[in-house]
């Protein structure tokens, strides 16, 4: 099954591993009996669905969530049911990949216009005149 991320990218379900563990969140006595928390493992480097540029951006975006082997680990334990946590983990993965798929605009440095430079110099001169007027003037003694 293919999970759509955007118009160009669709994840293969076999690239993702889910592990169910006991959760520490809401659920009362049920917490100790049922494994409702979900750990989602996605190997960024071995994914065939993602272009190389998206993999690199995803790796840097994920930060500490990527372990030494290159697995992106998403821990979902917000909800009381396993199904809701599974859905939450999928949605968070897709959101992260969508962010990585968006190509950042390259910054082009701008320069101030000649008029802006002239205005700035004029303001500096005015400010200098004001500061000169504040100085105490001592009378010349012969």
| Average pLDDT of span 47-67 | 83
pLDDT > 80? residue 1: no
Q: If we measure between CA atoms, which residue out of 137, 80, 128, 97 comes closest to residue 6?
A: 97
Q: From the CB of residue 114, how many other CB atoms can be counted at a distance below 10 Å?
A: 8
123-139 in b/e burial notation, b at 16+ Cβ within 10 A?
A: eeeeeeeeeeeeeeeee
Per-residue confidence band for 111, with pLDDT thresholds at 50, 70 and 90: very high
The position carrying tokens 């007027």 is 133
Averaged confidence pLDDT in the chain: 82
pLDDT > 80? residue 67: yes
Predicted confidence at residue 50, as pLDDT, reads 81
| Average pLDDT of span 60-78 | 84
| Average pLDDT of span 113-141 | 89
Query: What share of the chain has pLDDT > 70, as a percent?
Result: 86
Residue 72, judged by CB atoms within 10 A of its CB (0-12, 13-18, 19+), counts as: buried
- In this structure, of 9-23, 65-79, 123-137, the range with the lowest mean pLDDT score is 9-23
Residue 95, CA distances (Å) to 30, 60, 88, 99, 101 in order: 30, 15, 10, 6, 10
Which domains are delineated in the chain? Answer: 2-101 (3.30.160.20)
């Amino acid at each position: 099954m293919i999970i759509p991320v955007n118009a160009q990218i669709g994840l293969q379900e076999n690239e993702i591993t889910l592990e169910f563990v006991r959760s520490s969140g809401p659920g009362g006595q049920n917490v100790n009996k049922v494994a409702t928390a979900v750990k989602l493992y996605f190997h960024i480097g071995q994914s065939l669905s993602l272009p190389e540029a998206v993999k690199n951006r995803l790796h840097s975006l994920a930060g500490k969530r990527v372990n030494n082997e290159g697995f992106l680990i998403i821990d979902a334990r917000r909800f009381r049911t396993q199904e809701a946590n599974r859905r939450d983990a999928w949605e968070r993965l897709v959101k992260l990949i969508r962010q990585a798929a968006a190509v950042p605009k390259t910054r082009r440095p701008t320069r101030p216009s000649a008029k802006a430079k002239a205005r700035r110099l004029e303001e500096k001169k005015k400010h200098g005149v004001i500061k000169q007027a504040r100085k105490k003037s001592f009378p010349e003694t012969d």
